[in-house]
Amino acid sequence: MHPLLRVSEEVRAALADGRPVVALESTVIAHGLPYPGNVETATAIEKAVRDAGAVPATIGLADGRFTVGMSESDLERFGTAQGIPKVSSRDIGVVLAGGGLGATTVASSLVAASLAGIRVFSTAGVGGVHRGAGETFDVSADLVQFTRSPVAVVCAGAKSILDLGLTLEYLETQCVPVIGYRCDDFPAFYCRSSGHRNPQRIDELPLLVRALRAHWATGTEVGALVTHPIAEADALDSGYVEGAITDALAQADAQGVTGPAITPFLMKAVSAATAGASAAANRAVLISTAALAGEVAVALTAAGQ
């Protein structure tokens, strides 16, 4: 194993035996949801991966290395520690050198997954092109990292707070496949549809696996997005969510919130404005996405990847 990784026994054994593993981020634990719901949700996400027949590997930074596969006490630590920094790809070196805790975003989790040889990652909504990016240039490093880590990212699209049309344009420019699994529309996290189409759609797991394998067989290091929406029963109405997002954006503007702070700020403001409905939807889609990622990992390893 790579010297920067501290891989749990369970994950190490699974990788050595060619068994399925799903990588998971920790920013959602440290910054996405309040304690104790964050730890409870992280545990439920891991259970969903296990129920699908794969091993969860929640990733974070601690003691100068990536933790790959958190224990119960690691989850508790990441869920309760105050002031734990949000670490994207460019922050990895500084946080490793400092030796403190770091919560990994999608981007930095993919760096660790790729070093560990994990081919499947799951989150509810990836980062993307922020609204107003024409002015601010705020484009999540998640999108750039997809071009550098050959990992299948199973998600319910990108966060609703983003400009999802521009996010899809950016992914096209960067040669990142976006495949809807059993869905036409690119999902919008808490909402079933962003109003934009997935560029590709596949309905059968074996075909999805063949597509991913063929993509990587070309020698590319680019990952792939596999999208699947939140369940109908858990989804929020997009008109309702849009109202909350517009208000949240106005608050962020008034308070001068920018940069890495903007995503957590907006997520919290939307949760407050929807009286927790968005937080409940967030939890539901984190779990359903993790279950699908588990299935994808099982199918990929059965095919020898």
CA distance 55 to 252: 38
68 carries a ligand binding annotation: no
Binding mask 18-47 for ligand PSU (x = CB under 6 A): -------x-xx--xx---------------
Considering only residues 69 through 128, tell me which ones interact with ligand PSU, judged by CB under 6 A.
Answer: 88, 105-107, 127
Return the structure tokens found at 271.
């949760």
Is cis: bond before 56, omega within 30 of 0? no
Distance between start and end Cα atoms, the chain: 18
Size of the site for ligand PSU (CB under 6 A): 17
CB 113 within 8 A of CB 39: no
**Identity (one letter) of the amino acid at 273?**
A
Q: Does residue 138 bind Mn ion (CB under 5 A)?
A: yes
Nearer to ligand PSU, 114 or 305 (CB): 114
Tell whether the torsion through CA atoms of 197, 114, 289 and 301 is positive or negative: positive
Give the Cα separation of 4 and 1 in Å (integer): 8
Question: Which of Mn ion, ligand PSU, none has residue 289 at its interface (CB below 5 to 8 Å by kind)?
Answer: none
Going from the C-alpha of 20 to that of each of 14, 57, 58, the distances in angstroms are 7, 10, 14
Could you tell me the smallest distance in angstroms from the CB atom of residue 265 to ligand PSU?
Answer: 9
Question: Contacting ligand PSU (CB under 6 A), which of 196, 260, 277, 283?
Answer: 260
Nearer to ligand PSU, 176 or 202 (CB): 176
Nearer to Mn ion, 77 or 159 (CB): 159
Closest CA to 128 of 178, 78, 81: 178
Q: Which residues are annotated as a binding site?
A: 86, 106, 138, 140-142
Q: Which residues are annotated as a binding site for substrate?
A: 86, 106, 140-142
Which parts of this chain interact with ligand PSU (CB under 6 A)? 25, 27-28, 31-32, 88, 105-107, 127, 140-142, 260, 263-264, 267
